[in-house]
A and B are shown apart, each in its own frame.
Chain A
Amino acid sequence: MFTPTVFASILPEILILVIALLVLVVEPFWKEEKRRNVGWLVAGSLLLAMVISFLFGQPGEPTATLGGMVRFDWLGFFFKQLFMFAAAVTALLLMENEKVGRRGEAYLLMLASLIGMNLMASAGDLVMLYLAIETTSIPLYVLAGFMLADEKSTEAGFKYLLFGAMTSAVMLYGFSLLFGFTGTTDIYQLIGKLQPGIATFGVLALILVGIGFKVSVVPFHFWAPDVYEGAPTPVAGFLSTASKAAGFAVLIRLFFVAFPDFAPSWTLALAILSAVTMTVGNLLALPQTNIKRLLAFSSISHAGYALIGAVALSQLGAASVVFYLAAYILTNLLAFGIVMAFSRVTGLEDLKDYSGMSRRSPWLALMMLAAFLSLAGMPPFGGFVAKVFVFAAGIQAGYVWLVVIGILNSIVGVYYYLNALKYVYLFRMPEQDEENHPVPLTRPYVIALAVLAIGVILIGTVFAPWFSWSDAAALNLF
């Protein structure tokens, strides 16, 4: 049963499991104050795992392993690499969090959820898919509410749990109906077995609810701002990037592979969702004064942009979604990283607290500039290229109206992103004594933020290799 292919197909998960065990073993031997070093361990070994799986775990022709439970293809592979990268960065960011970083469980939970995400990206069967989603979600519920002493954190965890449980139940209902109609749970066998009709659309709608929750599209977004605000910031970053991307991986695999015959109906539904998500996300971001809430709404709107690529239902569309998510993960992690670095020193999270930041820490300000401009879709940062590709796919598919809405939304986005930068660069601290209030960065932050910032610029300038991988991943869907 365990041929080399099977082994390679779940190599990343195996490695992650090993790391998790390593953490369990090592952590008790370290003294309390040294336990933050688990972060180094996790980040380093995750990078190693990325390298190992890159060397030995590259997929060839798409194959189904483990009885069809897991698909071994570039789509899954590329997403897994992204998730592991995001987790490694998150680990670095976690260690600097006073309340979370010294507790091995936090890292363990993150690793567990990471395994779930990896499986989400590569699941080839509805059963596997559901299991993966739950494996991802449950540790995240805990992580979101990790700071027991903090009311907001507890609230966040609970809210996330309630929303998550309900939507996953709805989705599970959809899955079971699907099985009932077709007699199979294999995603790749579903095609052609469904008859058009109200019932089918109902099923699709139920599944969309579940995925919509994961990627936080409107109207399933209500949890997002509260959870992001309340959860420990690294967790919020992780939630808004890797977890969201995992949802997208499921979305494109399931819908592109299993339901292309019903395309006009669900693409239209997705188009409407996309339009609504972008618009609501951006409009609600406008009045925000808390930077984490601002980022929460902005990340909602970014789900909307990415959906344009999915709406296109083409190879370019899928590739552009993957590319978009890659750029988005880097950018948003950078943004959350900066927020963390800043609030670790100052303890403040309001926009107005960022006044004078460019004088307090020019480099942090510059990185914030890169992150926010990338979110706004400005070159030479990743967000620009990603957006252009998504729009290009949309236009190719004839969704000019959707692209126009997307563009109008980018304009709104430019407004509030630049507005935030205004605090950083223009306004000053009340006493105008910024030089007395530096924002020092510790080593994990320096490494994490530098890697992210360089990544954001690289993906925005030398985009050919990244896009080639995205394209290879997308190719597996057709």
Chain B
Amino acid sequence: MNFIDTHLLSLILFVPALAAVIILFLPNGENRVFRWFAFGASFIPFVLSLLVWFRFDANQSGFQFEEIYVWYEAIGSSLHLGVDGLSLTMVLLTTILTPLSILASFSITDRVKAYMILFLLLETGMLGVFMALDLLIFFVFWEVGLVPMYFLINQWGSANRNYASLKFLIYTMGGSLGLLLGIQLLGVLFNTYDLQIITAQWSTYTEDIAGIPASTFKTVAFWAFVIAFAIKVPVWPFHTWLPDAHTEAPTAGSMILAGVLLKLGAYGFLRLILPLYPEQARVFAGALAVLATAAIVFGAFASYAQTDFKRLVAYSSVNHMGFVVLGIAAAGLASGTPDAHIALNGAILQMFNHGLSAAGMFFLVGVIYERTHTRNLNEFGGLFPLVPVYGGILIFTSMASLGLPGLNGFVSEFLVVRGAWPILPVYTAIAMLGLLFTGAYILKGIKMVLHGPLNEHWAPAGGEHKLTEINTREILVMVPLMALILWIGIWPAWILDVINKAVVRLF
């Protein structure tokens, strides 16, 4: 037990990668073996992160479960892991969603082995970002997650996958270029990559760098960081890769993409930008708020305009993530105030919530797509009577996404709006209008799929209709998600407590 106690984080981090290697050496053969092995392997981090969650002491300041290993001594980088309330929430989200996504991908039949390997590697990449306390390690895992995702989209995606996957890759890599350069600069300046040391020194750094005033340099570096993360979030106008990538990705890929990968960007804002550039964050909060508001409003409009079910859900991500950024912008402007803390609480909870609901939505889109082989909303209609269970689940999840009180989305969006209102009243007001359209597009989606006149195409012929009901495995995927959605909606305190204490201490 002792080993597990002292290496909890590294176990969570590397068990998936290890499992991937084991799968690589498993003999080719039964797909079933790979599926269950991967599922089982992804369950271990989940159990371990639950362990971490319960052992985590929210009242203690600083990072917990810290581990530090020699990695790249020569340039002052080490494998330094640790979690606080902020990152632990994200770790939990990741370890919950990964097994569910793997379960959701049991319907994959093509090259299951490679698929599972990539999926597990992806999990390691994402977890690494959330746990890293070393800038270089942060970047390493940031990029590591990219490649499996690229191949998941490229190999198991739908028709337009080549274009979408390359766009995804180039956008993200191009975006992270500024991040890379910024990280290098910090490393050169401080001769270490340890996040805590750099945070302490850089935020108050005032000397000239290469003859350029520190403030100018910081501004440039700030924007380099912002662009890198904004692309990942994605913030309007850097979001155009997202609908393509989501739409073309396989179902489980979309789940993880929306559920976790987008959170990486927001996490970057919280973990790096706000602590490293408090000054710049305040100065440019207005600009960020503009982008966030634009994301909310345009995301909603764009979503409403879609006829492709999956694109509709994809644009909804832009819309929802806009609230996260709005919260962050508010916090940047008025850092340290109670309002800012409320907004940040909302933003972080929104990240978690959106992870749950977006994953659920994408999965449900996938379920219907597998049966109908179309995502065109116009080809659906009136399906509710045919698949009542599916319909119920879809409505439930949509409502969470819409922000229905009693479900989780409401809690977080309310917090963001409540926190941002005194700080950025105008933008918040506009964002509220966007929220209105959120309702509109979600209801439109439900209507066009489930209600209205039954599309003749699916009409029962000879008593048997062509659609089959959602099966047990698929329900099993949805049950944990729905449970969490409901739980947080009714009693958010268990998670907000952890988040809040971290937020108050950090910002």
Is chain B in direct contact with chain A in the complex (CB below 8 A)? no
